[in-house]
Amino acid sequence: MARRPLPRITNNGNDRIVRGRELARSAAENATDVLHPLITITRGLRRLAAAGRHRWSGTPKDRRGPLLFLLASIVLVVAFLPFGPLLATITLMAAAAWHGRDRTASRPTGPDEAQTKRLESLYEALVPYFSAPEDPAPLFTHGGDWAKAFVSYAFDGTGRVSQLTIRYPAYFTDGEAASRARIEQLLHTKSGRGREYRFEWDEEGNQLTVTALPPLPADIAAQHFVTAPGETVLGFTDPAGVQRTLPVTSGTDRRDVPPVVWRTGVRSTEPHLLAVGGPGSGTTTLLRSIALQTLRHSDVLIVEGGGTGEYACLAGRAGVLAVECDLTGALAGLEWAAHETERRLIAMNRARQAGQPPPDDTRRPLWLLLDRPTVLGQLAAADGRRDPQSLLQVPLRHGRAAGVTVVVAEQFDGMECLSDPVRQHTRARVALGTASAAQLEAVLGTRPPTTATADMPPGRGYARLGTGPVHRLQVPATPDPYDEATSEAHRQAVLSLLPERIAPADGEPSDVTDVTAEDRAGPDAVAKVAAEG
């Protein structure tokens, strides 16, 4: 039995349909052009009628009668005037045409002359980096069309580029950090210095988006932040960087800003922090801010290697175990902290083995804040004594389980003197102040996605928690209240956060505490207990 062929749709039918659609579209466009005056007048009459109804509804009822009489008198006068109805009709059509006009403001379809020159300059500057002699159809050529390479662009009020999306060839080595750095440095220079730029590389789509970032708020002073126990606000960042905001007060203004929150405790993956910066960059301010936040629910031991007395306001306060500024006091305090970590581990392990909750004397967190410990290390080496950093091995290694947190602040020129345990166990990193790309990469582990300005305010830098993204950071203003250069508003803000001052009892020793023989178990015993627990 032979199969019957399926009916076919001829191409002539398709051509007729396409031609019919084109004729209908052209007829509609021509009709719109011809009837445009009528459409404008009709739209104006509708708007005038709507305005009249709105005016009538807003008129009180006791005034509607006189208003109707006035309108009737005007109509009667116009009707008896020579050419009155014709003039009234012309006036009404003119008013309708005026009110029915298209009120959308005409927008420029492209950049002006100055903006075009900026885009051409950026395009020409990128030609040596985004072109190759072997490319048969290069996207970037000298004297080429910049509109093909720049997908989108935007300018700020000063005429400088605020956003730019660049399409680059697929053979560009965008996976190499050195190649990226060259392009970012070039765009930073050509787009305008004095601003920070974020670079977002889309390797799959071969596109680079450059965005000029607004400056971070530097007017937020120290205050009580709405955080849970174990959360510490390092500073504030961009809204797109985090998914949380905190209410803050700046003078009389109250607003919500995105913070960089560092979480510590037993379940923290970054239990210790390292802050690095230059002189006057704000590392001491960061440690003072952390101390004021943690004193609400923790005990704090401060070791100041610089010897400038920046933490004198915290001495003798409730929760502050000691503020040590000399080598002898620092060694005594850190030795006690190491044995206290051992004691907590042993006590918590015994409680877990007995099926009991941890003892009360191990629940309150302990914070060790060290400002420039390498200075004390150099003094100890000259005096033939022990380096204070060697006493941090136990708190750094077992501090998370024992509720002990270590925060170290150091300058860039002293990073080489930091011990290996400090480098390995401080997974939360902060870099403040002006620094080179190599210095930032050495601290953060990667290059920031933004470019820094030449003049950065104190407390301005970057933060990275573990292997997370790099955030721009602005530390809240927490100056020394005893400094004469501190403003009165900031002084009162810091003094209001200080705990009450406590007086030592009569005959109480100046040491932090005494350590029993059982607590001096040593690092080997601590490791054994941690492995058994």
Q: Kindly report the number of other CB atoms within 10 A of residue 154's CB atom.
A: 13
Does the annotation place 279 within a ligand binding site? yes
Give me the helices (H) in 59-83, please: 61-80
Does the annotation place 357 within a ligand binding site? no
Nearest to 49 by CA among 92, 87, 101: 92
Nearest to 276 by CA among 500, 426, 79: 426
Burial class (CB in 10 A: 0-12, 13-18, 19+), 62: exposed
Which domains are present in the chain? 113-213 (3.90.1150), 231-532 (3.40.50.300)
Please report the pLDDT score of residue 54 as a whole number. 80
As a whole number of angstroms, the distance between CA 501 and CA 264 comes to: 27
Does the annotation place 52 within a ligand binding site? no
Tell me the residue ranges of DSSP E strands in 169-316.
Answer: 196-202, 207-213, 231-236, 246-250, 253-257, 259-263, 273-277, 299-304
As a whole number of angstroms, the distance between CA 327 and CA 429 comes to: 26
Place of tokens 């060697």: 390
Q: Are strands 207-213 and 196-202 parallel, antiparallel or unpaired?
A: antiparallel
Q: What is the DSSP string of 275-308?
A: EEE-TTSSHHHHHHHHHHHHTTTSEEEEEESS-S
As a whole number of angstroms, the distance between CA 51 and CA 40 comes to: 16
Place of tokens 């960087």: 241
DSSP secondary structure letter of residue 484:
T
Please report the pLDDT score of residue 341 as a whole number. 96
Please report the pLDDT score of residue 80 as a whole number. 82
**Spacing of C-alpha 355 from chain mean position:** 44
> Residue 471 has which token pair?
């955030």
Three-state SS annotation for 393-406: HHHHHHHHHHCEEE
- The residues with which 255 forms a beta bridge, in sequence order, are 248
Are the C-beta atoms of residues 137 and 145 closer than 8 Å to each other? no
> Residue 186 has which token pair?
């070039």
Does the annotation place 282 within a ligand binding site? yes
Please report the pLDDT score of residue 29 as a whole number. 66
As a whole number of angstroms, the distance between CA 349 and CA 402 comes to: 10
Please report the pLDDT score of residue 47 as a whole number. 83
Does the annotation place 319 within a ligand binding site? no
Please report the pLDDT score of residue 220 as a whole number. 92
Digitized pLDDT (tens) for each residue of the chain, 533 residues in all: 455 554 544 445 555 665 666 777 776 666 666 667 788 888 888 888 888 888 878 788 788 888 888 888 888 888 888 877 888 888 888 887 887 776 655 555 568 888 899 999 999 999 999 999 898 889 999 988 899 999 999 998 888 899 999 999 999 999 898 899 899 989 988 888 788 899 999 999 999 999 999 889 888 999 999 999 899 999 999 988 788 899 999 878 899 999 999 999 888 999 999 999 999 899 999 999 999 999 999 999 999 998 888 999 999 999 999 999 999 999 999 999 999 999 999 999 999 999 999 999 999 999 999 999 999 999 999 999 999 999 999 999 999 999 999 999 999 999 999 999 999 999 999 999 988 888 999 999 998 988 887 778 899 999 999 999 999 999 999 999 999 889 999 999 999 999 998 866 554 444 444 433 344 344 444 444 444 44
Please report the pLDDT score of residue 28 as a whole number. 66
Does the annotation place 241 within a ligand binding site? no
As a whole number of angstroms, the distance between CA 482 and CA 310 comes to: 9
> Residue 516 has which token pair?
């029993």
| Region of residue 93 (phi > 0: left; psi between -120 and 50: alpha; otherwise: beta) | alpha
Cα three-residue angle 36-40-46, rounded to 5 degrees: 145
As a whole number of angstroms, the distance between CA 394 and CA 326 comes to: 22
Please report the pLDDT score of residue 512 as a whole number. 42
Longest dimension (CA), the chain: 121
Q: What share of the chain is helix, strand, coil (3-state, %, to 5)?
A: 45, 20, 40
Give me the helices (H) in 354-472, please: 373-383, 393-402, 420-425, 437-444
Are the C-beta atoms of residues 219 and 251 closer than 8 Å to each other? yes
